[in-house]
Amino acid sequence: MSGTSERGKPKILVTDPISEEGLKRLREFAEVDIALRLGEGELAEKIRDYDALIVRSGTQVTRKIIEAGRKLKVIGRAGVGVDNIDVEAATEYGVLVINAPEANTISAAEHTVALLLSLARKIPQANKSLKAGEWDRRKYMGVEVRGKTLGIIGLGRIGAEVARMALGLGMKVVAYDPYVSQERAKELGVSLLPFDEVLKAADFLTVHVPLTDETYHMISDREFEMMKDGVRIINTARGGVIDEAALVRAIKSGKVAGAAIDVFEKEPPRDNELLKLEEVIVTPHLGASTEEAQRSVAVVIAEEVQRALRGEPVKNAVNLVYVPAEILDAIRPFLTLAERLGKFTAQIISGRIESVDISYQGEVATKDTRLIGIAMLKGFLSQFADVNYVNAQLIARKMGIRVTETKTEDAENFSSLIGITVKTDNVERTVAGTVFGKNDLRIVKIDGYRVDAVPSGYMLICSYIDKPRVIGPVGVILGDHGINIAAMQVGREKIGGRAVMVLNVDNPVSEDVLEKVKTVDGISDVKLVKL
């Protein structure tokens, strides 16, 4: 691995406190330095030597820092939110950003249920009152949750866990999540309903959506208006999902009986009306604040950073498409093939690149092909730029290359075909390949001519007119220069028409020899490819 310490271990810099267990995991494979509370300039200076940076929310990972991190390959966020990381700059520099969103799930769900019960039984208010010397049993009369309906907005990781726990408490659970299937909801024992129906049905309503343009203030005056009188509201997701001002109005009007809030539009909240209301109970963003969650995020991020540094797929890459492990296994040979086809094509074109079309035919077209496309671009662009899986698409865009994809069912007698067509200001070339058996990669078409070539090592690609005394002289020239031919393939449009010859050779071919091959009568173009 490049950019490692002298002892061959990668170097990792940790700039926010993470759990001892996480550090222990990191030290098993890396040289780890901890430097807390660094200023931007100090960190930019220090980052130069490191392969990976691990942060929580305390470190601002700015463009300047990412630019300075010449060896930097991965930034790990021990937690969920990556708003303290300039993900765009990281992508531009090909630095993978990973987080650990699952490690918090149980803690956030338990905190939600703790707030649900606290809200039902007014525990925080009663606690405060008793400690203030009062003994008021009537004022803190509560309600049971069993038999009540819990409305969940957002049935993702945390929402689903909250559903499971609420069902355990004997609650009825209804949910709204346009991106979750009925089967998944059924599996959880939850009724998936339209948004308004969930609002109308809920005795308790809890939100578990990310904060996006779509979810910003998704619970506001109109929504409170539709709810049952005496509804209770919980927000452990993100401040801003619930319109705080509207919630204050709904509580003051008596529509909402109580609210439990862990997250605020502005944190820490200042002069926030919610904090002044007796019906509102609050915690200072404690959803993920458990020993277990903190340990778990650190261990998960350590393992993920290790995978990323080894070049293995990671589960939670913020700036790379996620493909589940089982699908990745199925498409892995196509990733290698795609990369080689891209690299191959880059070496047989000339001129200013205008567009790249990536095609998927047959069975492969029915799969999640996003990563295959990125692999193809990565291979293609690697001839012109420093590129990796993270920045391939961005670099293509910056080079002004139009990238399109086409998918067709028909794969012309193959079970699957993937292809690349590159247009430049003076040529257009198409190369397609397939995988035979498990892992037998082949180039099967070049510019429409059928060939059967193994894409590896040194290859000589000759365009010529099909006639006698072309192939022989090419072989002789190579032989005269001590170049051994390992395999040879020809493809032609018709007898006497245009043809292409692909030779796998055991040694590099010098410019001189290429020039000699070009002089053979009938040969119109010769390109040497190295894969």
Residues contacting residue 352 through CB under 8 Å, at least 6 positions apart: 424, 425
Residue 214 binding ligand NAD, by CB under 6 A: yes
Residue 159 binding ligand NAD, by CB under 6 A: yes
Site string for ligand NAD, 56-85 (x = CB under 6 A): ------------------------x-----
Residue 464 binding ligand NAD, by CB under 6 A: no
Q: Which is nearer to ligand NAD, 160 or 395 (CB)?
A: 160
Which candidate, 32, 68, 45, places its Cα nearest to that of 305? 32
Q: Which of 208, 340, 442, 516 binds ligand NAD (CB under 6 A)?
A: 208
Q: Which of residues 414-443 bind ligand NAD (CB under 6 A)?
A: none
Q: Record the tokens describing residue 407, joined without a space.
A: 């998918």
**CA–CA gap between residue 305 and residue 315 (Å, rounded):** 11
Q: Which is nearer to ligand NAD, 105 or 296 (CB)?
A: 105
**CA–CA gap between residue 500 and residue 116 (Å, rounded):** 72
Which candidate, 50, 38, 43, 92, places its Cα nearest to that of 65? 43
Q: Using CB atoms, what's the residue nearest to ligand NAD?
A: 156
Q: In what order do the strands lie in the sheet with 498-505?
A: 485-492, 498-505, 458-465, 523-530
Other Cβ atoms within 10 Å of 340 Cβ, number: 22
Q: Which of 155, 219, 401, 461 binds ligand NAD (CB under 6 A)?
A: 155
Structural Rg of the chain based on CA atoms: 30
Q: How far is the CB of 299 from ligand NAD (least distance, A)?
A: 17
Q: How far is the CB of 314 from ligand NAD (least distance, A)?
A: 17
Residue 217 binding ligand NAD, by CB under 6 A: no
In contact, 417 and 432? CB cutoff 8 Å: yes
Q: Which is nearer to ligand NAD, 320 or 503 (CB)?
A: 320
Q: How far is the CB of 238 from ligand NAD (least distance, A)?
A: 4
Residue 135 binding ligand NAD, by CB under 6 A: no
**CA–CA gap between residue 233 and residue 203 (Å, rounded):** 9
Q: Record the tokens describing residue 192, joined without a space.
A: 């998936």
Q: Which of 66, 78, 119, 180 binds ligand NAD (CB under 6 A)?
A: 180
In contact, 503 and 458? CB cutoff 8 Å: no
Q: Which of residues 30-59 bind ligand NAD (CB under 6 A)?
A: none
Residue 154 binding ligand NAD, by CB under 6 A: yes
Q: Which of 215, 306, 319, 369 binds ligand NAD (CB under 6 A)?
A: 215
Q: Which of residues 246-265 bind ligand NAD (CB under 6 A)?
A: 262-263
Query: What residues are annotated to the active site?
Result: 238, 267, 285
Site string for ligand NAD, 270-299 (x = CB under 6 A): ---------------x-xx-----------
Q: Record the tokens describing residue 243, joined without a space.
A: 């319109």
Which candidate, 370, 374, 437, 445, places its Cα nearest to that of 411? 445
Q: Record the tokens describing residue 489, joined without a space.
A: 């393939």
Residue 269 binding ligand NAD, by CB under 6 A: no
Choices 171-179, 360-368, 374-382, 436-444 (CB under 6 A): range interacting with ligand NAD: 171-179
DSSP classification of residue 152: E
Q: Which is nearer to ligand NAD, 236 or 306 (CB)?
A: 236
Residue 238 binding ligand NAD, by CB under 6 A: yes
Q: Which is nearer to ligand NAD, 77 or 445 (CB)?
A: 77
Q: How far is the CB of 502 from ligand NAD (least distance, A)?
A: 48
Q: How far is the CB of 208 from ligand NAD (least distance, A)?
A: 4
Classify residue 135 by burial, with Cβ atoms within 10 Å: 0-12, 13-18, 19+: exposed
Helix (H, G, I), strand (E, B) or coil at 28: coil
Q: Which of 3, 17, 142, 156 binds ligand NAD (CB under 6 A)?
A: 156
Q: How far is the CB of 263 from ligand NAD (least distance, A)?
A: 5
Q: What is the 3-state secondary structure (H, E, C) of 447-508?
A: CCEEEEECCCCEEEEEEEECCCCCHHHHHHHHHHCCCCEEEEEEEECCCCCEEEEEEEECCC
Helix (H, G, I), strand (E, B) or coil at 317: strand
Q: Record the tokens describing residue 511, joined without a space.
A: 């410019």
Tell me, by CB under 6 A, how many residues bind ligand NAD. Answer: 31
Choices 210-218, 357-365, 420-428, 503-511 (CB under 6 A): range interacting with ligand NAD: 210-218
The residues binding ligand NAD (CB under 6 A) are 80, 101, 104-105, 108, 153-159, 176-180, 208-211, 214-215, 236-238, 262-263, 285, 287-288
